[in-house]
Amino acid sequence: MASKPTRGIHEIPSQTSLFEMLPESQLACQSYITSSLPTSFEEASKNNREAANRRRYGMKEHLASQHHFDFRLRFENVLLSWVLRNGLSTRVGERRIAIRVADHDCEYLTSERVIPEGMYGAGPILLWDEGYWIALPAYEDIPKCLRNGRLKFRLESHKLNGVWTLQQRQANSSDQLSNIWDLVKELDQFRSAENSPYTPVAAQRSVLSGQTLEELKQYGNRKPVKRAPMSLLFETDFQIS
């Protein structure tokens, strides 16, 4: 009777044979482990790349001499910053002016405060939205995108989801780029209907404190409020214009 061939010392056992070698008490984990494994190298690479490109995002609402929104994308150790006079739009193709300003320190991403009268920017600043931004595959070289004046990204946050493009305008003279950009909503499943009404019910409140600008101005950080739960992510039941 022929003897059973032995496994060569350089032969790598298959995943199935490895599980056959496990004690019975550990076999229950097999289905979970195998289902958690990437189906291919390409999928694993894509997931790793997207995780590396998932960065913090925040938008402040600021009631200063002129009401506006501060749109901030974290990149490395700074906040890339734009000022939005009228917020942003969730309607496909609608442009909103975004003025590029100096980069901010990361500590300003999620803070709320009331700037005292007599100081620059006096008035309440609340955290209107926060979450993450992910550059689309063709726009992962952020410095290059900023130099070229075009950045396309996806937002995943409390109030906003979907894809937007920041497009820098040409300056009026020479070929220099200006600090004025357009923030444009792209076509995706999160878009608003073209004739959808403005419904600012939840959109008026902070995702950090739950306050409105007027409440923050009146109470500051003294009013006991509950932070909006992250379960709101991808579950927004309102639209903004």
Tell me: the pLDDT tens digits for 194-236? Answer: 555 443 434 678 999 889 999 998 887 665 455 544 444 333 3
CA angle centred on 192, ends 190 and 196, rounded to 5° = 155
Determine, yes or no, domain membership for 167. Answer: yes
Determine, yes or no, domain membership for 136. Answer: yes
Q: Provide the pLDDT for residue 9.
A: 39
Token pair recorded at residue 153: 């990204």
Please state, in angstroms and as integers, the Cα–Cα distance from residue 179 to each residue in 8, 65, 96, 97, 104, following that order: 66, 21, 14, 10, 16
Determine, yes or no, domain membership for 125. Answer: yes
For residues 195 and 204, give the distance between their C-alpha atoms in angstroms, rounded to a whole number: 21
Calculate mean pLDDT across residues 100-126: 92
For residues 82 and 100, give the distance between their C-alpha atoms in angstroms, rounded to a whole number: 4
Determine, yes or no, domain membership for 225. Answer: yes
Determine, yes or no, domain membership for 18. Answer: no
Determine, yes or no, domain membership for 124. Answer: yes
pLDDT 10s digits, 157-170: 999 899 999 999 98
For residues 106 and 124, give the distance between their C-alpha atoms in angstroms, rounded to a whole number: 19
Most confident of 17-21, 25-29, 182-186: 182-186
Determine, yes or no, domain membership for 1. Answer: no
Q: Provide the pLDDT for residue 164.
A: 96
pLDDT 10s digits, 36-62: 445 555 555 556 556 667 999 999 999
For residues 122 and 153, give the distance between their C-alpha atoms in angstroms, rounded to a whole number: 32
Determine, yes or no, domain membership for 100. Answer: yes
How much of the chain, in percent, has pLDDT values that exceed 90?
45
Q: How many domains does the chain have?
A: 1
Closest to 237 (Cα-Cα) out of 190, 194, 195: 190
Residue 207 structural domain? 47-232
Q: Provide the pLDDT for residue 10.
A: 43
Q: Is-above-0.75 flag for pTM?
A: no
How much of the chain, in percent, has pLDDT values that exceed 70?
63
